[in-house]
Amino acid sequence: MAAAADTAKPRPKTSPKSIKFLFGGLAGMGATVFVQPLDLVKNRMQLSGQGSKAREYKTSFHAVTSILRNEGIRGIYTGLSAGLLRQATYTTTRLGIYTVLFERMSKADGTPPNFFMKALIGMTAGATGAFVGTPAEVALIRMTADGRLPPDQRRGYTNVFNALIRITREEGVTTLWRGCIPTMARAVVVNAAQLASYSQSKQALLDSGYFRDDILCHFCASMISGLVTTAASMPVDIVKTRIQNMRMIDGKPEYKNGLDVLVKVIRKEGFFSLWKGFTPYYARLGPHTVLTFIFLEQMNKFYKIYFLDS
């Protein structure tokens, strides 16, 4: 018994839970600074041709050039404050909960949970984070959509806090969680698809003999995973975008629910319109994931060197 106790390895020191939450949010915010223009283009593409209107943007490149021409360089970063707040809420909660549950489900000797449990933890963390981040998501969708409207129809939010205050005052506090169900559904789909496809892609790349377990491998695996995740989650994402941006018409909402969005989009715009904005969505997902984890690893490394090992 004593020998077993002597040979048992103590768990390595880890940072406090509050630091894990903080670093998760900061990593997501840092990545958003780089990919916000792609989020803007994705949202504009998903709203383009809404209903029976002609599409405003033919391609993602056309959307970028139109935004730059009509709204200037600053226009391409419209909604950045909302994007940062979304990461501060959604990513902080998601990565924090994932890390805490991951550690709790790991065995005393440090053995991680199995793949099924990892997927379950990821989906739980994603859904919880999505619920917390929905108000910022609503503000982001509206702010990025504003520039495509005629001046007299624009909401004119000056920043994310102005958006949240005005939405609460003009439409009620529950509007901040409009589209919450499809937002959470999207988070579950994204986390499930991302975990499975990233794990398989990384293993396939390592087994090929051409890659080592480094940033290049992580980036390539993320881009392959992003392709699968984008294809799986875009129909849910367009439902979320349309619901969060919808207006009241004659006292009634444009859409009754998520199924109504899907039916109307397919009937009026075609089945493949469910994947509108595929290119910017895909181009955003891979790099954002890579940048988030690079920033997160560096912050954890810095904290370990200067606070845990000192």
Q: Which two tokens stand for residue 143?
A: 């702010």
Q: Which pLDDT does position 251 carry in this prediction?
A: 77
Task: List, in order, residues 6 or more apart from 44 with CB less than 8 Å away.
Answer: 56, 57, 63, 67, 144, 145, 147, 148, 277
Is the pTM value of this prediction over 0.85? no
Q: Which two tokens stand for residue 184?
A: 């959470």
Which pairs from 170-175 meet CB under 8 Å and 24+ separation? 175/138
CA distance 83 to 29: 8
Q: Are 304 and 15 in contact (CB under 8 A)?
A: yes
pLDDT tens by residue, 238-277: 999 899 988 877 778 888 888 999 999 999 888 988 998 8
Q: Are 45 and 237 in contact (CB under 8 A)?
A: no
**Closest CA relative to residue 293, chosen from 239, 236, 218, 234:** 218
Q: Which two tokens stand for residue 15?
A: 């940072």
**For the residues 72-83, what does the mean pLDDT come to?**
92
Q: Which pLDDT does position 1 carry in this prediction?
A: 47
pLDDT tens by residue, 36-54: 999 999 889 888 877 656 6
- For the chain, what are the domain ranges? 180-245
